[in-house]
């Protein structure tokens, strides 16, 4: 479907045109999810046709070496692929839109690479690694090189493993994978992202709430792009906006938890809608 402010031949295009009208000149806060990155080759969790996936929880990760070995083996292969992903048209459109705040649930770092400025990476970034003991934070590239050296041929043996959304792969053969400790204290290394079972750091949540609250005073709108809003970490901002009477527009392939709270819900591609929104706001 082509999204255009002048196209009204179907109910879907009429809704898209009305949504573009609503968003044309308002201050915006944008919340993005995995659906925004599918055009960059990164699979999402809950889009149409996506298989059921159960991410590792924080409690499982810290339960023992076997769980961490399984996590890092899968993540090592996934990172080798994800680091080559490029920002797509949706990421670049959001950079041009330059909203009051861009809140992303994604950990892939593509918004940063596209040049977005006012940004909260709600769940952290897979490109960073933290030691759970000394709390030192290091870049993922250094750990990737260590893992490659300690596990020669591992990536080549498992090149057919299917990619998963959070920078890992679907793989069970991980028993022989070697996981190093922190280079400073030999402690437990974890990607600096929020796992299921962890809480988003409070300062991030407060900054997002403040931006959403400000929309009510400025006749702004909240735009959701590529999220099913299944997890509360993102859905709470939709609930906050709706509580304050701030209009919400949701663009997502498939239904979302927030549909009943939205002024418009559009089952269209994120890249095409965001590109059309840029054109509308800059016309």
Q: E strand or H helix at 249, and its extent?
A: strand 248-251
134 annotated to bind ligand: yes
Q: Of the residues 91, 92, 111, 123, which is catalytic?
A: 123
Residue 204: HSE in the Cβ half-sphere, 13 Å Cα cutoff: 17
Question: CA angle, corner 222, sides to 94 and 21, nearest 5?
Answer: 80
208 annotated to bind ligand: no
Closest CA to 180 of 142, 210, 207: 142
- Distances in Å between the Cα of 96 and the Cα atoms of 36, 117, 270 are 15, 10, 15
Is residue 123 annotated as a catalytic residue, yes or no?
yes
270 annotated to bind ligand: no
| Distance in angstroms (rounded) separating the CA atoms of residues 66 and 196 | 18
Write out the binding residues: 131, 134, 182, 185
Write out the binding residues for Zn(2+): 131, 134, 182, 185
User: Which residues form the catalytic set?
Assistant: 123
């Amino acid at each position: 479907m082509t999204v255009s402010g002048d196209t009204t031949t179907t109910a879907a295009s009429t809704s898209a045109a009305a949504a573009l009208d609503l968003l044309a000149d308002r201050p915006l806060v944008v919340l993005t999810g995995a659906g925004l990155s599918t055009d960059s080759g990164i699979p999402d969790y809950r889009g149409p046709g996506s298989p059921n996936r159960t991410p590792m929880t924080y409690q499982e990760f810290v339960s023992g070496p076997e769980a961490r070995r399984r996590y890092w083996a899968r993540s090592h292969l996934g990172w080798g692929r994800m680091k080559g992903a490029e920002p797509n048209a949706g990421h670049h459109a959001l950079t041009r839109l330059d909203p009051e705040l861009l809140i992303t649930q994604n950990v892939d770092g593509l918004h940063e690479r596209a040049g977005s400025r006012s940004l909260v990476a709600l769940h952290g970034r897979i490109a960073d690694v933290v030691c759970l003991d000394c709390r030192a934070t290091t870049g993922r590239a250094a750990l990737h090189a260590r893992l490659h050296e300690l596990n020669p041929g591992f990536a080549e043996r498992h090149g057919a493993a299917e990619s998963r959304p959070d920078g890992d792969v679907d793989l069970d053969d991980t028993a022989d994978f070697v996981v190093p400790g922190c280079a400073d204290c030999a402690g437990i290394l974890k990607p600096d992202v929020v796992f299921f079972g962890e809480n988003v750091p409070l300062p991030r949540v407060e900054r997002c709430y403040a931006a959403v609250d400000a929309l009510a005073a400025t006749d702004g709108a909240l735009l959701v792009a590529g999220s099913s809003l299944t997890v509360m970490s993102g859905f709470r901002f939709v609930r906050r906006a709706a509580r304050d009477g701030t209009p919400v527009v949701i663009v997502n392939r498939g239904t979302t938890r927030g549909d009943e709270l939205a002024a418009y819900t559009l089952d269209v591609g994120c890249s095409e809608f965001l590109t059309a929104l840029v054109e509308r706001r800059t016309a």
